Amino acid sequence: MAERQIILRVKHLKKYFPVMGGLFKRNQSAVKAVDDVSFEIREGETLGLVGESGCGKTTLSRAILQLDPPTAGSVELEGRELVNMKGEELRHIRARVQIIFQNPYSSLNPRMTIGRALLQPMIVHGISSGKEAEKRVSDLLNKVGLSPTFANRFPVEFSGGQRQRIGIARALTVNPRFIICDEPISSLDVSMQAQIINLLRKLQRELNLTYMFISHDLSMVRYISNRMAVMYLGKIVELGESRAVCGMPLHPYTQALWSAVPIPNPEIEEHRKRINLEGEVPSPINPPSGCRFHTRCPKAKDICEDIEPEFREVGPERWAACHMV
């Protein structure tokens, strides 16, 4: 396999939110939303990111995009360090990495025609203007499966699935290399979801895009991504090739997660053995000592409470953070 370029390299990324106490007291504690996360994404790849609420996946995507600058760590996009980049330089490089949002009803400006919403970023980045830009808008609309006549309409005239397509077109206006898809199908009906997923795959092939696909829908993530990362309370607990992570999960949390997902096959469901996790997810303000998962882990031992497991390579292209692996 030829060595593909690394599009995104995240090293020891941390994002803490200070919790202020009282009127003038300094930060008493912090919500450790993302706590020391490292991974790489290669060109043309789709990295899936799964986890439940509070695991930090959305905060991670905001931190990578510098929409919410990280507290510590580094984010390299095509070799250029994004953290601490400011002003014009940052604005410029934003064209290389885009985001598709979850909620199709709040991700488009309701007072702006979609044509204008698509033209704006092109003009701002000097990609094209005038008649040429309008043609590009038509092409983009075609590419995402919408008619170019829709350019004069407002978002309210479209359904959820159509709005997601518009959101995808908007992300493509600036010719990005890398797109973060933050739960792009969660708000859509099942039949719509499949349409959008196929569109994303088609665009990836045609335009050589790299994706980070965030979702809580494990089956979908397993299907669409080459590699998959599982997050829990701000840390990545397992990372590896998708089918391997799902077929043979190593980390107890991944095992529990996968066993909880209902599979649309009554025969399999009837005979599945399930791992039931006790309790609720602990608060990210006061995460458990040692391994964060130890309070709910069916395999926890004494060492898990004292020492935090290292995120290390436990097999070919497989990383996990667990003492038991």
Partner 1 sequence: MTQELASLQVSPVERVKYRGFWTGAWRRFRRNVLAMYGLVFVGFIIVVALFVPVLAPYPYDKIDLAHGLEEMSKEHLLGTDQLGRDMLSRIMFAARPMLLVGFVTQVAALLIGLPLGIIAGYKGGVFDWVVTRFIDFFSALPWYLIVLYLVMVLKPSLQNLILALIITSWVNQCRIVRGLTMSVREQDYIEATRALGLPTWQILTSHILPQVAPLALWGFAVGIPTAVFAEAGLSFLGLGVRPPQPSWGQMLGESGQWWIYKPHMFVFPGLMITLSVLAFQGLADGLRASIDVNVNV
Partner 2 sequence: MLPLLDVRHLEVAFFTKDGVVKAVNGISYTLDYGDTLALVGESGCGKTVSVLAMLRLLPVPPAKIMGGQVLLEGHDLLRLKLDQMHTVRGSQIAIVFQDPMTSLNPVMPVGDQIAEAMQVNLRLGRKEALEQTEVLLQRVGLPNAANQLKSYPHQFSGGMRQRVMIAMAISCKPKLLIADESTTALDVTIQAQIVDLVKELQQELGMTMIWITHNLGLVARLAKRVIVMYAGYIIEMGLTKQIFANPIHPYTIGLLNSVPGIELTVDQDLQYIEGAPPDMIKLPPGCPFSPRCLYRSERCLTERPELVELTTSVAAACWNIDRVHNR
Binding-site ranges for partner 1 (CB under 8 A):
65, 67, 90-95, 98-99, 101-103, 105-112, 120-121, 124-125, 145-147, 153-154, 156-157, 159, 162, 167, 170, 173-174, 195, 198-199
Q: CB under 5 to 8 A by kind: which of partner 2, partner 1, none does 256 bind?
A: partner 2
Least Å distance, CB 88 to partner 1, is 9
| Residue 192 found at the interface with partner 2 (CB under 8 A) | yes
Q: CB under 5 to 8 A by kind: which of partner 2, partner 1, none does 12 bind?
A: none
Least Å distance, CB 277 to partner 1, is 31
3-class SS string, the chain: CCCCCEEEEEEEEEEEEEEECCCCCCEEEEEEEEEEEEEEEECCCEEEEECCCCCCHHHHHHHHCCCCCCCEEEEEECCEECCCCCHHHHHHHHHHEEEECCCCCCCCCCCCCHHHHHHHHHHHCCCCCHHHHHHHHHHHHHHCCCCHHHHHCCHHHCCHHHHHHHHHHHHHCCCCCEEEEECCCCCCCHHHHHHHHHHHHHHHHHHCCEEEEEECCHHHHHHHCCEEEEEECCEEEEEEEHHHHHHCCCCHHHHHHHHHCCCCCHHHHHHCCCCCCCCCCCCCCCCCCCCCCCCCCCCCCHHHHHCCCCCEEEECCEEECCCCC
Q: CB under 5 to 8 A by kind: which of partner 2, partner 1, none does 67 bind?
A: partner 1
Binding map of partner 2 across residues 280-309, x = CB under 8 A, - = no contact: xx----------------------------
Q: CB under 5 to 8 A by kind: which of partner 2, partner 1, none does 206 bind?
A: none
| Residue 277 found at the interface with partner 2 (CB under 8 A) | yes
Least Å distance, CB 191 to partner 2, is 4
Instruction: Count residues near partner 2 (CB under 8 A).
Output: 42
- Which residue among 3, 130, 190, 273 contacts partner 2 (CB under 8 A)? 190
Nearest alpha-carbon partner for 179 in 39, 10, 85, 41: 41
Scanning 88-96, 113-121, 262-270, 305-313 for contacts with partner 2 by CB under 8 A, the matching segment is: 262-270
Least Å distance, CB 95 to partner 1, is 6
Binding site for partner 2 (CB under 8 A): 52-53, 159, 161-162, 189-195, 197-198, 201, 216, 218-220, 222-224, 226, 242, 256-257, 259-269, 274, 276-277, 280-281
